[in-house]
Amino acid sequence: MDKSGKKIRVLVAKPGLDGHDRGARVVARALRDAGFEVIYTGLHQTPEQVAETALQEDVDVVGLSILSGAHMTLVPRIKKLLQDNGMNEVMMIVGGIIPEDDAEKLVSEGYAEQIFTPGDPLDKITGYISNNFK
C-alpha cells in the first residue's frame, strides 16, 4: 500500500512471442504475498493489448516479462503507447534475459525504471516497488 493507504496495482504482462511464463507467475505470486493487487494478462500479448489493459485496470506499475530477446523493440513500444494513453506516471519495470548493455540503455533512455535479471531475489523486486510508493 502507498502512503495514503491505497492498494498498489501491478500489471504483470508477457508481451511478444515468448511462451514461458513460469517466471512471471513466480513474480506475480511474490507480489501478491507482498500485498499488491496483481493483474496478470497471460501469454502472447501485443504491445497494444498491454497498454490498453494497463489503462482499463488503472495500474500503478507495469511489469514486463520478456525472455525472447525482443526487449529493445517491445519495451520502448509499450512505453510509447502508455504515454499516448496519458499514463506517463506509470512505473515500468522489466524482467527477463536482458544483457547488461541493453538494460543500461533501457533505463538511461527512460523506457524503464529498473531491470531485473535471473538471480535477482524476489524481495528485490517487491522491495523496489514498495520503496517507490512510500
Partner 1 sequence: MQQLVAELLKGNRRAAARMISHVENDDPLKRMLLTELYPHTGKAYVIGVTGAPGSGKSSLVDCLLQQMRRDGLKIGVIAVDPTSPFSGGAILGDRIRMQDHALDHDIFIRSMGTRGSLGGLSRSTREAIQVLDAFGKDIILIETVGVGQSEVDIVKAADTTVVVLTPAGGDSVQTIKAGIMEIADLFVVNKADLPGAERTTTEINIMLDMKKGDHWRPPVVQTVSVQNKGLDQLWELLQEHRNYMNESGKLETVRLERVKRELTDQVEYLLKNSVWEQVKEEVKLEKLVEEIANRKNDPYSAASELLEKISFFDQKTGKDD
Q: For binding to partner 1 (CB under 8 A), which residues are involved?
A: 1, 4-7, 9, 28-29, 31-42, 45-46, 48-49, 52-53, 55-58, 85-87
In the complex, what is the shortest distance from the CB of residue 80 to partner 1, in angstroms, rounded to a whole number?
A: 16
Query: Residue 50 is placed in which grid cell?
Result: 498491454
In the complex, what is the shortest distance from the CB of residue 55 to partner 1, in angstroms, rounded to a whole number?
A: 6
Asked if 11 and 45 count as a contact pair (C-beta separation under 8 A), the reply is no
**Rg value, the chain, Cα:** 13
Residue 100: CB atoms within 10 Å: 9
Give the H/E segment covering residue 96.
strand 91-96
Nearer CB in complex with partner 1: 46/68: 46
In the complex, what is the shortest distance from the CB of residue 37 to partner 1, in angstroms, rounded to a whole number?
A: 5
